[in-house]
A and B are shown apart, each in its own frame.
Chain A
Amino acid sequence: DIVMTQTPLSSPVTLGQPASISCQSSQSLVHSDGNTYLNWLQQRPGQPPRLLIYQISNRFSGVPDRFSGSGAGTYFTLKISRVEAEDVGVYYCMHATQFPYTFGQGTKLEIK
């Protein structure tokens, strides 16, 4: 199985300031079809996970443009340009390159 490792595990951020979360996979996430199926999900307290970004950098429906994703191969980054109060929660990277899909340990975003 592919192991997904996130850093940091906790990120205290000031409102209005940027935040960045990294995710590294134990092997390349490039599929045989040439696409890279690395995704980011947000889980607010008491809520189910919500898809934010798919295939490295595509924002899902309704996701604000302050969220952006980048990366390639085995190293990926989620950035929030200006953190808002509603962004508090846990962020997970998840690959969908092969079964089983696996998730990172999560990064807890909190406000300083």
Chain B
Amino acid sequence: QVQLVESGGGVVQPGRSLRLSCAASGFTFRDYAMHWVRQAPGKEPEWVAIIWHDGSNKFYADSVKDRFTISRDNSKNTLYLQMNSLRAEDTAVFYCARAGIVLIPDYWGQGTLVTVSS
């Protein structure tokens, strides 16, 4: 079955960096685009970024553009999110999700919590 396991979250000071990882299994990772979606406490989810199956295309939400970078290593079945210049408003649970039918996020991981605080 499809499994997505995020890691790398934690408490970080404003202005610092963090890299999240998402280990994928149960499907052919290199065949699928992948998303990052975040959810601040008590709020609706917010789409963050998508990367094509081969890494050839990437799109970002305006709120993270120029600060966050999505990448993948198909040899390791792993998705990444490099987050720089973190702000308090980036505090959220970050989910990776497979981009299935017509790029819709169909399977989601359990998420990793990022807290930006001094």
Segment touching B, from A13-21, A65-73, A79-87, A99-107: A99-107
If over half of B's interface residues share one DSSP class (helix, strand or loop), that class is named, otherwise mixed; here it is mixed
Residue contact A96 to B103, C-beta cutoff 8 Å: yes
**Set of chain B residues within 8 Å of A45, measured between Cβ atoms:** none
B113 to chain A: closest CB distance in Å? 12
Interface string of A33-68 (1 = CB under 8 A from B): 001010101000000111100110000100000000
Interface string of A74-112 (1 = CB under 8 A from B): 000000000000000000101010011111111000000
For B, the interface residue count at a CB cutoff of 8 angstroms equals 22
B62 CB contact (under 8 Å) in A35, A54, A96, A100: A100
For A, the interface residue count at a CB cutoff of 8 angstroms equals 22
Is B110 located at the chain interface by the 8 A CB criterion?
A: yes
If over half of A's interface residues share one DSSP class (helix, strand or loop), that class is named, otherwise mixed; here it is loop
1-49 of chain B: CB within 8 A of chain A? 37, 44-47
**Set of chain B residues within 8 Å of A104, measured between Cβ atoms:** 44
Residue contact A54 to B101, C-beta cutoff 8 Å: yes
Known: A92-B45, A100-B62, A101-B47. A48 touches B106 (CB 8 A): no
Bound Cα distance from A49 to B111, whole angstroms: 10
77-109 of chain B: CB within 8 A of chain A? 95, 100-109
Known: A48-B95, A49-B95. A37 touches B102 (CB 8 A): yes
A42 to chain B: closest CB distance in Å? 11
For B101, give the chain A residue with the smallest CB separation. A54
